[in-house]
Each structure stands twice: as structure tokens, then as C-alpha cells.
Amino acid sequence: METPPFTRLADVYDAIMADVEYDDWIDFILREASARGFAGGRLLDLGCGTGNATGPAWARGHLVDGLDASAAMIEVARRKHPASDFYVADVREFALPRRYALAYSVFDSLNNLLDDAGFLAMARCVRAHLQPGGWFVFDANTTEGLRSLWEDGRAEGWADDVYYRWIHRYDEERGLATVEAFCRDRIGEFTEVHQERPYDPADLRRLLSAAGFEAIEVVRYPDAAPADEDEPRVWTFARAPE
């Protein structure tokens, strides 16, 4: 049975993603943002999903809010991190009661924005929620990354009692990647279809500049050296105006 993206997946997401290096990513974000002038303050985890990148930031002494469009994913995040404030909202149009010193997004969440207009709306909304001089940090899959996401276009295995088989294909003409995510657990089985659009370094610089960000850097992980155009995944640091 096909279900909408990030609904039924919320029940099995943490089991499948147990080995993802969220702690290392948060260390990288905080270290590199601090090197660029970030001096602390409240954080926003954008596209937070089940809160896997929210917890590590809390553990490092930061107050963190989370935002995601999936109510099912947010429900899991709230159970895991009751001290955080979580919001169900579209990243392209949200209005929160706080402003943040740093907003971050990990694990190619922003690749789910499939056109320039959507990315630009998101970036402008983030900028509006940052304090003067606040930072926006995120990763993104590039064209090279989405062309060859997995060997043979497949990720398959067991995670606890969850069997998953995810099939990936990249449409060169449309510039979109599609993943058919099949999962089976004790409750039953389901398939979710997810799409991602690549964002290359030039795209990111252009769109963030149009959204009013400054000091834009597109780098590779983990050494934060300038990213080449053929890097499969890049990280971006951008500052809101003072």
C-alpha cells in the first residue's frame, strides 16, 4: 500500500537510520559556525523529522526547537525530546514566536524542495526567523550525489524487526530523483514515494543571495574546505544581515 511521504515511515524511521552520524554532523555545524562568529543562542532544527539532530544539539547545551511538515514525524520527536518545542509547518511558510541565533537542517531535508521558488520561499522564511547576524547551516545532495545515490540504485536490509527495500532512480531530463521506499514491520507493509531535486554549489549561492543572505560558503564535510562542483553532498553556511 502506498502512503504519503513521511507518514507511516515515522514508525520505523529511527530503526532504519540508527547508524546515521547525527552527532558528528552537529559537532561539525557548531564548530564551523563558531569559527564564523556564532556565539550561542537558541537553535531551530528545520525539517527535524523525528528529532534525531535535535537531541545532539540539546546534549551540547543548546536550547533547540524543531519544525517539520510531517505531523507523524513530529509526534515521535515530541515523545523523544519533551523539553523542546516542536512545530508542524511547511518550511516554505511558517511563523514561529521566536527568533533564532542559528537554524540548521541535515540529511538532505531541503532537497525535498523541488523548484527554485520553493527553496527561495524557505530561505526567506528562515532569514525572517533569524536574529540579526544569525546563521543558516544545512547540507544538500548535488546533481552528482543524486545521480549515484546508492550502488545499483538500491538500499536493502533489516533494522531490528523492520525489513526495508528502497529503490532509487534519477531522471536526467527532469532533474529529479525518486525513491520508492518499501518497508515491512510487525504491523504490516507499505511503500512511500519520495522525490528530491539536486542543489549544486552555484544554485545554493544564487538562491541564498536572492533571499538576502551574506557570507555564503559552500563547503565539503568534514574539513569545511570549499566544495567542488562535482561534490556529491555539500554543506552551506550563510549569515543573515546584521
Measured CA distances, 102 to 44, 64, 139, 150, 221 (Å): 6, 10, 14, 31, 19
Mean residue pLDDT of the chain comes to 97
Phi, psi of 231 (to 5 degrees): -65, 135
| Residue 186 reports pLDDT greater than 80 | yes
pLDDT of residue 152: 84
Mean pLDDT of 214-229: 97
Which stretches of the chain are DSSP H helices?
13-16, 22-35, 54-59, 71-80, 116-129, 143-147, 201-210
Structure confidence by residue, pLDDT tens digits, 106-129: 999 999 999 999 999 999 999 999
Q: What's the whole-model pTM score?
A: 0.97
The predicted pLDDT at position 1 comes to 61
| Cell reading at 81 | 525530546
Report the distance separating Cα 230 and Cα 4, nearest Å.
32
pLDDT value, residue 54: 98
Under the banding of pLDDT at 50, 70 and 90, the label for residue 151 is confident
Q: What single-letter amino acid sits at 221?
A: Y
Which residues lie closer than 8 Å to 143 by C-beta, 6 or more apart? 175, 198, 200
Per-residue pLDDT at 3: 85
Do 234 and 209 form a contact (C-beta atoms < 8 A)?
A: no
What's the rounded mean pLDDT across residues 71-91?
Answer: 98
